[in-house]
Amino acid sequence: MDAFGMGLVAAMGALATVAGASEDIDSDIGSQSNPNSQVQLAAQVGNPHRIYNKAIAGEPPSNALWCTTAAIMAYVLIEGYHMPLLFAAAAGASLAALFDGVMSVSAYLGRNASQARFNQWIYLDIIRYTTPSIMAHVWITSFCIVLIAIMQVYILTPHHPFPIPVIALVWGLTVGAIGSSVGDIHYGGEREFQWRLFGQGLNTMLSGQIVRKAEAGLRNSIDNAWFCAKFGGPATGMGFGLTVFLDNWRTTVFDPITQAGAAIAMGVFFVIVMNLYNFYCEVSARRKYGPYPGYKGDIAA
Partner 1 sequence: MNFDANTIIYLLEIIVGGLLVGIGVHFVPVGGAPAAMAQATGIGTGTVQLAAGSGLTGLLSAGLMMHAMSLSPTFAQDGYSIWPILLTGAVGAMIMMDATMLTGSWIYAYAVGAPFASAKVNYDPITMFSQPPYVAPGTVGQGIPTVCFVSGTIGAAMGGLGGALIYFPLVLINGNPAMSAIFAIGIFMVDAVLASWNIQGTIEGFHDPKFKKWPKAFKACLISTAILAVVAVLITPLVGGV
Q: Confirm if 55 and 110 have CB atoms less than 8 A apart.
A: no
Among 7, 46, 84, 291, interactor with partner 1 by CB under 8 A: 291
Q: Is 208 in the site for partner 1 (CB under 8 A)?
A: no
Please state, in angstroms and rounded to a whole number, the distance separating the CA atoms of residues 29 and 249. 33
Q: Is 278 in the site for partner 1 (CB under 8 A)?
A: yes
Least distance (Å) between residue 165 CB and partner 1? 9
What's at 60, amino acid-wise? P
Q: Confirm if 226 and 133 have CB atoms less than 8 A apart.
A: no
Q: Is 80 in the site for partner 1 (CB under 8 A)?
A: no
Least distance (Å) between residue 278 CB and partner 1? 5
Q: Is 59 in the site for partner 1 (CB under 8 A)?
A: yes
Least distance (Å) between residue 292 CB and partner 1? 6
Q: Of 48 and 163, which has the nearer Cβ to partner 1?
A: 163
Please state, in angstroms and rounded to a whole number, the distance separating the CA atoms of residues 202 and 219. 20
Please state, in angstroms and rounded to a whole number, the distance separating the CA atoms of residues 248 and 240. 12
Site for partner 1 in 146-165 (CB under 8 A): 158-163
Among 7, 46, 132, 256, interactor with partner 1 by CB under 8 A: 256
Least distance (Å) between residue 132 CB and partner 1? 26
Q: Confirm if 67 and 100 have CB atoms less than 8 A apart.
A: no
**Site stretch for partner 1 (CB under 8 A), options 6-14, 55-63, 95-103, 129-137:** 55-63
Helix boundaries (H) for the chain: 3-30, 36-44, 59-81, 85-114, 124-150, 164-178, 184-185, 221-228, 232-253, 260-289
DSSP tag of 116: G
Among 85, 182, 225, 229, interactor with partner 1 by CB under 8 A: 182
Among 46, 84, 132, 290, interactor with partner 1 by CB under 8 A: 290
